[in-house]
Homo-oligomer: A and B are copies of this chain.
Amino acid sequence: MPFIPHTDEDIREMLAAIGVASIERLFDEIPRELRGGALAGFPPALGEMEIARLMRGRAERDGTYLNFIGAGAYEHHIPAAVWQVATRGEFYSAYTPYQAEASQGTLQLLYEYQTMMASLVELDVTNASLYDGASALAEAVLMAVRAHRSSRKVLVPLTVHPAWRKVVRTLVRNQGIELVEVPYCSESGHTLPGALARFEGRDFAALVIPQPNFFGVLEPVDELTDWARAGGALAIATVNPTALALLKPPGKWGGRGADIAVGDGQPLGAPLAGGGPYFGFMACRRDLVRQMPGRIAGATVDAEGRRGYVLTLQAREQHIRRSRATSNICTNQGLMVAAATIYMALPGPDGLAAVARACHANTLALVSRLTAVGGVARAFSGAIFHEAVIRLPVPAAPVLNALKAQGILGGLNLAHDYSGLGHALLVCATEARSEEDLARYAEHLARIVGRRTRPAAGALKPGSKT
């Protein structure tokens, strides 16, 4: 019996102590007609060795690729210490720290995390995580609407990650909140402050401001923040944490700073892992803290006056406030926060800035290599952080397929989400990409695009294909 320690003798003694004849009897309160619980088609048990063989085989078949996709999930170097320490049983197998005295490890770590994160965004308070960046943005929208009171409309630029916009829609629409799209400048690739003119005078709860935006382009965050605040809307920043080691933090945007900042913490030590688990972070001005969703750790003292840590402001949460809670979130992404905290502690401030600079420089280098290929060009003129949209002379899908056959994931095809952009590809090169990696991509692209454009001419002669 995997993981069940009971011996026959144990079972006998336990049944005797309970005073029943069989385990069966313990289920006698279940209406007889319901008993069964089929498990039809459920596979038989595998030993650890067998499941390991199965999983290793599948993993090996999947293989690994040279990756140039970013689009909200970034391949960064993760120091070995991060997960070797984070998966220590004491972190890995603990529950949410309800019993503070028995959870000072996790609680102090959360407090340290909050400190680091508050500094990254330069806002007063942060929570201890939400599910991911997209759902964190939805929570921020809900929070802004609660805080704002008069409006249930929120402005969302089209430069916000399209999947995030979908998630926000799923999570807020049942509460009658309206999301209003803001177009972007097709030349620069960012939102123009002028584009907001048409919304002037209308009451909005918030304006979402991505930095960098989905295209990798830097937004005029100061102007956008000031515009929001001037109109009485909250400014919600969505930011990349790596970028923040280099970029002006939301708390300093414009005259008074953004009100809420959210983002996905994945770049801070979470492996790509096929899409998760990552974590969402959220920070806000101190006066909004009681509207904040999620756990928050706080410092206090113990009976002897020693410093210690607890979960605090729990009256916001579902287990106390129930239907009037700030959110339904309970289990969050704790272990990812543990990893993120260790991750941030290892390189330190200069190291994280160096990572950010390397990502930026690598992406610039990639873009210049790719755009050296005939017919390939940048789609936008705006300054970028570590992603860029490039335009191909031919449809992206077959190019990506041809690259894939060479073991290269060449970027995200924007044909579905931004069909107006032409044959556009969102590419990314983090610090984990080497010079040779970039060269390899560029060489293959040149070859493939070359092949794809040449036959295109030849294809004029019908019947010539074999």
Chain A contacts to B: CB under 8 angstroms: 47-49, 52-53, 77, 79-80, 84-85, 87-89, 431-432, 434
Closest B residue, CB atoms, query A80: B48
Docked complex Cα distance between A297 and B49 (Å): 33
**Contact check: which of B47, B79, B87 meets A84 at CB < 8 Å?**
B87
**Identical chains in the assembly:** 2
Contact of A49 among B53, B77, B84, B87 (CB under 8 A): B77
In the complex, chain B residues whose CB is within 8 Å of the CB of A52: 77, 80
Report B-chain residues with C-beta under 8 Å of the C-beta of A85: 89
Question: What chain B residues lie within 8 Å of A432 (beta carbons)?
Answer: 49
**Can you list 13 pairs linking A and B with CB atoms under 8 Å apart?**
A47-B77, A48-B77, A48-B79, A48-B80, A49-B77, A49-B431, A49-B432, A52-B77, A52-B80, A53-B434, A84-B87, A85-B89, A88-B88
Bound Cα distance A53, B77 (Å): 10
A77 nearest in chain B by CB position = B49
Beyond A49-B432, A52-B80, A53-B434, 10 additional pairs, beta carbon < 8 A = A47-B77, A48-B77, A48-B79, A48-B80, A49-B77, A49-B431, A52-B77, A84-B87, A85-B89, A88-B88
Say how far A117's CB is from chain B's closest CB, in angstroms: 23
Give the complex CA separation of A326 and B85 in angstroms: 40
Tell me, in angstroms, the Cα distance from A200 to B48 when the chains sit together: 51
| A29–B389 alpha-carbon span in the complex (Å) | 62
**Bound CA span A241–B332, Å:** 46
A89: chain B residues within 8 A (beta carbon)? 85
Q: Shortest CB–CB separation between residue A56 and chain B, in angstroms?
A: 9
Nearest-neighbour CB distance to chain B for A367, whole angstroms, equals 22
Give me the 5 closest cross-chain CB pairs, A-B, nearest first: A49-B77, A48-B79, A49-B432, A88-B88, A48-B77
In the complex the two chains form, what is the Cα distance from A431 to B48 in whole Å? 12
Residues of chain B lying within 8 A (CB to CB) of residue A49: 77, 431-432
Most buried by B among A49, A52, A84, A88: A49
Residues of B within 8 A of A80 (CB): 48, 52
In the bound assembly, the distance between CA atoms of A53 and B66 in angstroms comes to 12
CA distance A45 to B162 in the complex (A): 42
> For A87, what are the chain B residues with a Cβ–Cβ distance below 8 Å?
84
CB distance from A268 to the nearest CB of B (A): 15
A9 to chain B, nearest CB (A): 16
Chain B: minimal CB distance from A110 (Å): 22
- A443–B277 alpha-carbon span in the complex (Å): 43
CA distance A80 to B52 in the complex (A): 9
* Minimum CB–CB distance for A451 against chain B, Å: 28
Residue on B with the closest CB to A355? B49
In angstroms, Cα B77 to Cα A199, docked, is 65
A357 CB to nearest chain B CB (Å): 14
Set of chain B residues within 8 Å of A48, measured between Cβ atoms = 77, 79-80
Complex: A84 Cα to B77 Cα, angstroms: 22
A439 CB, min distance to chain B CBs, angstroms: 15
In the bound complex, what is the Cα–Cα distance between A431 and B53 (angstroms)? 12
Give every chain B residue within 8 A of A79 (Cβ-Cβ).
48
When chains A and B are docked, how far (Å) is the Cα of A289 from the Cα of B84? 40
A83 → B minimal CB distance (Å): 11
CA distance A47 to B49 in the complex (A): 35
What is the minimal beta-carbon distance from A8 to any residue of chain B, in angstroms?
14
Nearest opposing residue in chain B for A48, CB measure: B79
Q: For residue A346, give the distance in angstroms from its CB to the closest CB of chain B.
A: 9
- Please, which residues of chain B bring their CB within 8 A of the CB of A53? 434
Cα(A226)–Cα(B154), bound, Å: 91
A77 and B432 alpha carbons, distance in the complex (Å): 33
**A88 cross-chain contacts in B, Cβ below 8 A:** 88
Cα–Cα, bound, A80→B87 (Å): 13
Distance (Å) between the CB of A378 and the closest chain B CB? Answer: 27
Bound form: Cα–Cα A361–B53 in Å: 19
Residue of B nearest to A432 (CB): B49
Task: Identify the closest chain B residue to A85 (Cβ).
Answer: B89
The distance in angstroms between the C-alpha atoms of A53 and B84, with both chains bound, is 18
A434 to B47 Cα, complex, angstroms: 13
Q: How far is the CA of A89 from the CA of B81 in the complex (A)?
A: 11
For the complex, give the distance between the alpha carbons of A47 and B354 in Å.
12
Interchain CA distance A204-B52 in the complex, whole Å: 49
